[in-house]
Each structure stands twice: as C-alpha cells, then as structure tokens.
C-alpha cells in the first residue's frame, strides 16, 4: 500500500508540474536512510543542433548546458581519475597509474580547449544512451563543423572503442588512429 501511495503521489506531481524532483527518507525498513531522488522530465525537448558544452569531464565525456552528460562514441581517452577502469588499463597496458593519469590529463586539456564553452551539434547512432544514462553522440562544433570525436583521434589523444551497433564512423576513426600513431601525434610521441 505504501508503494501505491508513492506512485500515485509521483503521478499526480508529474501531471501538475511537468517536471518533478522528489527527495524523502521513506520506508526505512526496506531502504537505506539516504534520500531517494526521482527526476522525471516531462515535455522537455532540447535542440541538440545548437547546445552549449558547459564543461569537459575528461577527454571523452562532456556536460551540456542542460546538465546531460555526453559520451563521445567510438573513442576512448586515458583515465584521468582513480577508478576500476584505471586499474584495469594499467594492468592490461603494463603502464603505471600515474603515467596513464598524465596522458588522461593531456587528453582532457585537448578536449577542453576544443569544445568547452562552445556551441555544438550532436549526431546520434543506433543507441542514444549508454548503461550510465549518458547520451552517446558524435559531436560537431557549430562554428566550423569540426567533427570533435574524429579530431581527438586525429590529433592523437584517443584510442578506438567500438561497441556495436554504434559503428557509423568506425572506418574513419581507424584510419585517423593509424595515422596519428604513425605520425607520433599527441599521446603517441
């Protein structure tokens, strides 16, 4: 019965407000004491052809002016922060964690200079979101139509990371990656 009341409350709030944030310490018997937060966007649509990049999180992840995170499709930059992935990458590559973080910092700085504070357009592939609820996108600078994902690879700041079915530009990225490695650009110096 408690759950039905919560669901009805949320439904009513959504109907009357269009957007609803709920935070409460409820049902302590079954849930932790931490607040449970719901964010239900209703009726919102964003113009992904002209949206500001508010900040760069790392070399392959951006935050838009609307608060959404974007994971750049097809590329992978070195980790910048402590994480399980950083540890896995260090073990796999036989490089120490600090070296990987330094490369991650270089990739972050390149991406930041390229897109932070600038208007961009997003192009989606087959899947629009990843398992972390980030938008999956190919990003273009509105100013000059620079293909951001490709430019990061071309300048040597990213490796390839392809997850089917999002493979629209895999051939282009492979070509640019090989050229960057052969010409010792960016991280490949």
What's the CA gap between 142 and 122, in Å, rounded? 10
DSSP string over 43-106: S----TTSEEEEEEEETTEEEETTS-EEEETEEE----S--HHHHHHHHHHT--HHHHHHHHHH
pLDDT score of 10 more than 70: no
Mean of the per-residue pLDDT values of the chain: 84
pLDDT score of 15 more than 60: no
What's the CA gap between 25 and 34, in Å, rounded? 7
For residue 46, name the pLDDT band (cuts at 50, 70, 90).
Answer: confident
Average of pLDDT values for 151-170? 97
Give the residue extent of every domain in the chain. Answer: 2-41, 51-188
Residues annotated as catalytic (active site), given as ranges: 71, 79, 134
pLDDT score of 144 more than 50: yes
pLDDT score of 153 more than 90: yes
Contact 120, 142 (CB under 8 A): yes
pLDDT at 19: 38
pLDDT at 43: 52
CATH number of 51-188: 2.40.50.90
pLDDT score of 38 more than 50: no
- Token pair 């192009």 is found at 123
């Amino acid at each position: 019965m408690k759950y039905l009341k919560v669901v009805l409350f949320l439904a009513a709030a959504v109907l009357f407000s269009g957007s609803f944030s709920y935070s409460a310490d409820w049902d302590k018997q079954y849930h932790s004491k931490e607040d449970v937060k719901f964010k239900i966007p209703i009726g919102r649509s964003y113009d992904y052809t002209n949206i500001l990049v508010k900040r760069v999180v790392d070399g392959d992840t951006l935050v838009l002016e609307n608060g959404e995170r974007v994971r750049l499709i097809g590329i992978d930059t070195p980790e910048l922060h402590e994480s399980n992935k950083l540890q896995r990458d260090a073990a796999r590559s036989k490089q120490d964690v600090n070296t990987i973080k330094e490369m991650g910092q270089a990739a972050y700085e390149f991406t930041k200079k390229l897109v932070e504070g600038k208007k961009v357009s997003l192009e989606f592939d087959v899947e629009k979101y990843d398992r972390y609820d980030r938008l999956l996108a190919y990003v273009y600078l509105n100013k000059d139509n620079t293909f951001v994902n490709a430019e990061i690879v071309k300048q040597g700041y990213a490796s390839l990371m392809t997850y089917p079915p999002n493979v629209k530009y895999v051939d282009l990225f492979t070509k640019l990656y090989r050229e960057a490695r052969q010409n010792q650009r960016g991280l490949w110096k």
